[in-house]
Amino acid sequence: MSSFIKVGQENSMPIELYYEDHGSGSPIVLIHGWPLSASSWEKQTAALLGAGHRVIAYDRRGFGRSSQPSGGYDYNTFAADLDAVLTTLSLTEVGLVGFSMGTGEVTRYVAKYGSKRVRKAVLIGTLGPYLVKADGNPEGVDASVFDGIRAAITADRPSFLIEFLRNFYNYDITGGKLVSERVLEANWNVAVSASAIGTLACVNAWGEDFRKDISQNDVPTLILHGDADRILPPDATSRRQAKMIKDVQFVELKGGPHGVLWTHAEEVNAELVKFLA
């Protein structure tokens, strides 16, 4: 089944999140990456349903089939949206699984709302602990990179998105082998249909400092990351974050680009099913 959960109001319009809720058993909530939607989890959904889980996947505000408000594109609001999903559906003992931008929701949610509803956490292609280079964060990515992304989105969002997706999959290496041009087209159609305002505003959210949040993570956590990730290089992200979590398993996917949910689906699914059992 699919339906909508109301998470707010903007003028005359309700702000609603689209979600799908399938299967039965131990619940897993899937939180997608930018600039895609819950449909990007198709290979994982099938594997988790096959393993006997109830699988709930929703579209972040501004993306997919959810409402496209003009604001709320920050991690406190995203975490509140996730909380609305969990409370509306009365979910407990949840496996929270985030990919890329969705790892921020998982991290902020556990820090802000605690782990009373959460059994385990999975971070795939994580953007933590703190992506932007700053005083006290020399391992981060130079702020000018994000300025360039914002400028490119503002100038020509459709063109930027197709280039982004090529790097998302390391298409020059994986194209025609691990990912087809049709997948790129399908992703582009989803991405270009997202809120133009939200697509741009999310770039600011990537600069969030999650270091304090991570220290409050008290649930068993699995981190999966492609070692050839060009979007969120593991040196700036997962390799650092893994050292900051008490109960962690860290798996690097050899040759994996950012878009491992598709290119390395069998490996990702095997790790997910094993960890979430």
Residues forming the active site: 100, 229, 258
Burial class (CB in 10 A: 0-12, 13-18, 19+), 92: exposed
| Amino acid type, 93 | E
